[in-house]
């Protein structure tokens, strides 16, 4: 028996990078205008959670913190095979930095009860800090395996292979543990037919939907609002600039002497002679 009963996967809804997400005057992303999608990095985390369920048993819970439309990614997770979804949604969470986000999410994990394994993506495509997973592990006092590219569970221990600079590191740790899943892990498998049918039903039947998707607030998870949102965030996105037109004009320089090419490319700027030692 693997002893795995509960698996948690943290997923985030992000602006669809292919859509022209506008910026608000204060430089934050205009999330209302932007098309939304499941954070691409979280697809690997979801695959890892579903893999554990398939190989070792257990129930998969997907958890997201965000505005009400974030229910969409919980439905997507259920269509792929997750058993239930929790949305932590509360106006007091607005403008949370990673410290406040990790605080609020760790309170959710405590509220949900014992989890044998917690999976997160490596990072998000909007904040892109890769800080939330490790911070949650720290707050829950759990061992953490980051940049995990593959793993197995043997005799109640996690055997993981993680990517490190220039190679791999094999680590073994006790459960429960938190794992940030690298993009080198297996791609998310297609939605199951059963899952796709279930989503159609859930979208038709609100009562049934409420059996699979639960919306919770800061009060439900006994989180201190002073540690959430803008109040709880030592970091603020002070300003973001729209990058100009990416991609300059391509000019081919060929068929001339090095000196002529250097002169042409540098516009004749004097270049100090480089003498090979």
Ligand X SMILES: Cc1cc2nc3c(=O)[nH]c(=O)nc-3n(C[C@H](O)[C@H](O)[C@H](O)COP(=O)(O)OP(=O)(O)OC[C@H]3O[C@@H](n4cnc5c(N)ncnc54)[C@H](O)[C@@H]3O)c2cc1C
Min dist CB 257 to ligand X, Å, is 47
The neighbouring-strand residues paired with 62 are 9, 85
- Candidates 18-26, 35-43, 48-56, 195-203; binding stretch for ligand X (CB under 6 A): 35-43
Task: Give whichever of 43 and 209 is closer to ligand X, judged by the CB atom.
Answer: 43
Task: Give whichever of 105 and 221 is closer to ligand X, judged by the CB atom.
Answer: 105
Who contacts 173 (Cβ-Cβ below 8 Å, separation ≥6)? 143, 145, 157, 158, 160
Task: Give whichever of 128 and 201 is closer to ligand X, judged by the CB atom.
Answer: 128
Residue choice 127, 176, 229, 232 for contact with ligand X (CB under 6 A)? 127
Min dist CB 261 to ligand X, Å, is 40
Per CB under 6 A, 146 contacts ligand X: no
Residue (of 139, 35, 31, 138) closest to 93 by Cα position: 31
Please state, as a whole number, how many other Cβ atoms lie within 10 Å of the Cβ of residue 30.
13
Q: What x-and-dash track marks residues 158-197 binding ligand X by CB under 6 A?
A: ----------------------------------------
CA contacts within 13 A on the Cβ side of 260: 5
Backbone torsion region of residue 78, taken as left when φ is above 0, otherwise alpha when ψ lies between -120 and 50, otherwise beta: alpha
Min dist CB 15 to ligand X, Å, is 9
Peptide bond into 176 cis (omega under 30): yes
Residue choice 47, 61, 89, 123 for contact with ligand X (CB under 6 A)? 123
Per CB under 6 A, 61 contacts ligand X: no
Beta-strand pair 84-88/167-174: unpaired
Residue choice 8, 21, 38, 45 for contact with ligand X (CB under 6 A)? 45
Do residues 58 and 96 make contact, with C-beta atoms less than 8 angstroms apart? no
Per CB under 6 A, 129 contacts ligand X: yes
Q: What x-and-dash track marks residues 208-247 binding ligand X by CB under 6 A?
A: ---------------------------x-x--x-------
Peptide bond into 276 cis (omega under 30): no
Size of the site for ligand X (CB under 6 A): 32
Do residues 105 and 65 make contact, with C-beta atoms less than 8 angstroms apart? yes
Min dist CB 30 to ligand X, Å, is 11
Residues of span 62-91 touching ligand X by CB under 6 A: 64-66
- Concatenating the DSSP letter of every residue in 80-126 gives HT-SEEEEE--GGGTT--HHHHHHHHHHHHHHH---SEEEEES--SS
Residue choice 4, 10, 37, 52 for contact with ligand X (CB under 6 A)? 10
The Cα angle at residue 120 between residues 153 and 24, in degrees rounded to 5? 175
Residue choice 5, 20, 57, 128 for contact with ligand X (CB under 6 A)? 128
Per CB under 6 A, 97 contacts ligand X: yes
Distance CA 230, CA 233 (A): 5
Binding site for ligand X (CB under 6 A): 10-12, 29, 39, 41-42, 45, 64-66, 96-99, 101, 105, 120-121, 123-124, 126-133, 235, 237, 240
């Amino acid at each position: 028996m693997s002893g795995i009963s509960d698996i948690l996967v943290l997923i985030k809804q992000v602006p669809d990078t292919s859509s022209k997400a506008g910026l608000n005057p204060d430089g934050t992303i205009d999330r209302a205008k932007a098309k939304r999608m499941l954070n691409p990095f979280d697809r690997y985390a979801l695959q890892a959670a579903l893999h554990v369920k398939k190989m070792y048993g257990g129930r998969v819970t997907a958890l997201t913190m965000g505005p009400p439309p974030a229910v969409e990614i919980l439905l997507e997770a259920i269509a792929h095979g997750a058993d239930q979804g929790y949305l932590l949604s509360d106006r007091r969470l607005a403008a949370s930095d990673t410290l406040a986000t990790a605080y609020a999410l760790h309170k959710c994990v405590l509220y949900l009860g014992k989890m044998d394994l917690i999976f997160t993506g490596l990072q998000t495509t909007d904040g892109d800090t890769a800080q939330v997973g490790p911070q949650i592990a720290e707050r829950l006092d759990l061992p953490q395996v980051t940049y995990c590219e593959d793993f197995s569970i043997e005799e109640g221990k996690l055997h993981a292979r993680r990517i490190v600079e220039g190679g791999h590191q094999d680590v073994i740790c006790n459960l429960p543990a938190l794992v940030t899943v690298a993009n080198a892990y297996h791609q998310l498998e297609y939605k199951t037919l059963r899952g796709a049918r279930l989503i159609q039903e859930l979208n038709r039947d609100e009562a049934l939907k409420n059996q699979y998707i639960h919306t919770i607030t800061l009060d439900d998870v006994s989180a201190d609002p002073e540690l959430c949102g803008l109040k709880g965030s030592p970091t603020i996105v002070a300003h973001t600039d729209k990058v100009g037109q990416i991609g300059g004009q391509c000019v081919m320089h060929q068929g001339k002497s090095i000196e002529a090419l250097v002169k042409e490319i540098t516009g004749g700027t004097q270049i100090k002679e480089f003498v090979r030692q």
